[in-house]
Structure 1
Amino acid sequence: MEKPLYRQVISDLEKRINHLKPNDRLPSERQLLIQYNVSRNTIRLALQDLEERGLIYRLHGKGTFVSSRYLDQPNIGEMYSFSEEVRRSGQKPTTLNQSLKLVEPNQKIAEQLNLQNAEKAYELVRLRLANDQPYIYSKTYLPEKLFPSLTLDELQGVPLYDVLKDKYKQLGVMAFEDVQAVNLDKQESEYLQEEVGSASLKIYRKTINEKNVPIEFTISVARGDKFIYRSKQYNHLL
């Protein structure tokens, strides 16, 4: 299977970077558009991936440069998978799909999904467990126009992203997350088997495809005593 265009650009740029010196300047976005004959979104996705992994850094008004320290580590921009992380820790992951319904989302969610007035989205309510202990309660919103006729049955026992990719040909290539410290409300505490007001993390996650189109927006609440949120960061100027 042929790689998506942005992945092909990433692979080629990585090879070029390996032959450059720290702080060498890369071609501009406009030059890359001409060289690779792809869309601006494709170039921006590729550059964003390289920047998140510490291979390049960008200075406003000056351009894009090779990082002076190349760290040969796993891609920190990879799509996060709860199930994979739980298995990695030696525990058994479980996903309980509570409900799926077609809704007209509020303005905030509609903006995240680039929905127009009256456009609808599926609201998927899920509970994520590790060794039968609840960790995360979430509501995921999926545009109806991208996932027509989605049913709860086809999500049973199958990872959500697999269904989106295999049935609807929608592949999430990048996700953006905001994390906020909150206290559990009554409904969240019942799902997570914790006291009302317990410390937790609220995670807002938007996933886009290779065309820079939002395909998913999820609001999750994770138990503060169970869930550790890790982030790797690099100083591109060192």
Structure 2
Amino acid sequence: MQKPLYRQVISDLEMRISKLKANDKLPSERKLLMQYGVSRNTIRLALQDLEQRGLIYRLHGKGTFVSSMYLDQPNIGGMYSFSEEIKRAGQKATTKNQSLELVTPSEQIAKQLNLVSDEQTYKLVRIRLANDEPQIFSTTYLPKKLFPDLKLSDLQADTLYSVLKSKYSQLSVMAFEDVQAVNLSATESKFLAEKAGAASLKIYRKTINDKNVPIEFTISLARSDKFIYRSKQYNHFL
């Protein structure tokens, strides 16, 4: 199966970047449009992906440049997957789907998903476990207009992202996350088999598709004694 256009552009740019030196300048958006013959949105999505992963950096009024990092990473650009990370650690990953219902989201959720005030979303509540021990309690909001007739049974035999891709042809290509340190409430602690007031990481995650449209917004609570949040940061100017 042929890769989507934005992914073809990303793959080609990655190859070009790997042959350049740190701080070398990339062609302008206009030149990239002419070279690849794709839409401006496709070019911007590709550059946004590369920038989020630290391969490039942009200076206002000056252009786009190659970051000082070595591109020798497995599955470069892959989306974070709880199941894959747990399996990689030699543990068994499972998910308990607690509930799925249609709701009118709060103003905050609607804004994250670019919805108008009366649009509905599916609200999916899940517990993610490693070796049968709860690690993450999450609430996911999915626009009804993008995922009509979503059923809890769809998620019993497959992962959420696999269902979104196979049943609705919606491919998650990029995610934005904010992480906050919080203490678990009495209700939240029960889902994670923890004590009320225990330290936790609260993770806000928005996922977009290949058309730069938000398709998912998830609020997760992760046990701080079981879940490690990793990030990489690069100094573009070394």
| TM-score normalised by structure 2 residue count | 0.95
In 2, the alpha carbon distance for the partners of 1:120 and 1:112 equals 13
Change (3 A) 1:48 1:26: same
What secondary structure, in the 3-state scheme, does the structure 2 residue paired with 1:64 have? Answer: strand
State the SS of the aligned residue for 1:80.
coil
Return the offset for 1:88: 1.0
Q: CA deviation at 1:74?
A: 3.4
Partner of 2:142: 142
Q: Which residue is equivalent to 2:223?
A: 223
Match of 2:99 in 1: 99
- Are positions 1:121 and 2:106 aligned together? no
Q: Secondary structure at the match of 1:167?
A: helix
Quote how far apart the aligned CAs of 1:23 are. 2.4
Partner residue in 1 for 2:210: 210
Identity %: 75
> Equivalent residue for 2:20?
20
In the superposition, relative to structure 1, how do residues 159 and 185 fare at CA in structure 2: closer, same or farther (>3 Å)?
A: same
* Cα distance in 2, alignment partners of residues 225 and 14 from structure 1: 36
What is the distance in 2 between the residues matched to 1:141 and 1:110? 9
What does residue 35 of structure 1 align with?
35
Structure 1 window deviating more from structure 2 (40-49 vs 96-105): it is 40-49
Give the drift of 1:25: 1.5
Task: Report the residue type matching 1:168 in the other structure.
Answer: Y
| Alignment RMSD | 1.5
- For residue 177 of structure 1, give the secondary structure of its aligned residue in structure 2: strand
Q: Which moved more, 1:73-82 or 1:198-207?
A: 73-82
Instruction: Could you tell me which runs of 5 or more consecutive residues in structure 1 were left unpaired when the two chains were aligned.
Output: none
Give structure 2 stretches of 5+ with no counterpart.
Answer: none
- The range that moved more, 12-21 or 227-236, is 12-21
Which residue does the alignment assign to 1:9?
9
Shift of 1:97: 0.2
Which deviates further from its counterpart, 157-166 or 70-79? 70-79
Q: Distance in 1 between matches of 2:150 and 2:48?
A: 31
1:97 maps to amino acid: N
Alignment of 1:42-81 (within 5 A): 42-74=42-74, 77-81=77-81
**Alignment partners' CA distance in 2, 1:132 and 1:105:** 31
What is the count of residue pairs matched by the alignment? 238
Match of 1:161 in 2: 161
Q: Is the 8 A contact 2:97 2:126 kept in 1?
A: yes
Look up the equivalent residue of 2:91 and give its one-letter code: Q
Given that 1:53 and 1:75 are in contact with CA atoms closer than 8 Å, whether structure 2 keeps it comes out as no
Residue 69 of structure 1: how far off its partner (Å): 4.0
CA drift of 1:233 comes to: 1.3
Evaluate the alpha carbon distance shift between residue 132 and residue 68 of structure 1 in structure 2; reply closer, same or farther with a 3 A threshold. closer
Paired amino acid for 1:126: R
Note if 1:173 corresponds to 2:173. Answer: yes
Contact 1:54-1:70 at 8 Å conserved across structures: no
Q: Distance in 2 between matches of 1:69 and 1:156?
A: 40
What TM-score do you get using the length of structure 1 for normalisation? Answer: 0.95
Amino acid at match of 1:231: S
Deviation at 1:12, TM superposition (A): 1.8
> 1:22–1:192: structure 2 CA closer, same or farther, 3 Å change rule?
closer
Q: Which residue of structure 1 aligns with residue 86 of structure 2?
A: 86
Query: 2:98 & 2:111 partners in 1: Cα distance?
Result: 25
**Equivalent pair of 1:127/1:134 in contact (CA under 8 Å):** yes
SS in 2 for 1:153: helix
CA contact (8 A) 1:5 1:42 kept: yes
- Taking structure 1 as reference, are residues 106 and 137 closer, same or farther at Cα in structure 2, changes over 3 Å only? same
**1:106–1:10: structure 2 CA closer, same or farther, 3 Å change rule?**
same
8 Å contact from structure 1 (residues 52, 76) kept in 2: no
8 Å CA contact 1:207, 1:214 repeated in 2: yes
Structure 2 CA distance for aligned equivalents of residues 12 and 76 of structure 1: 13
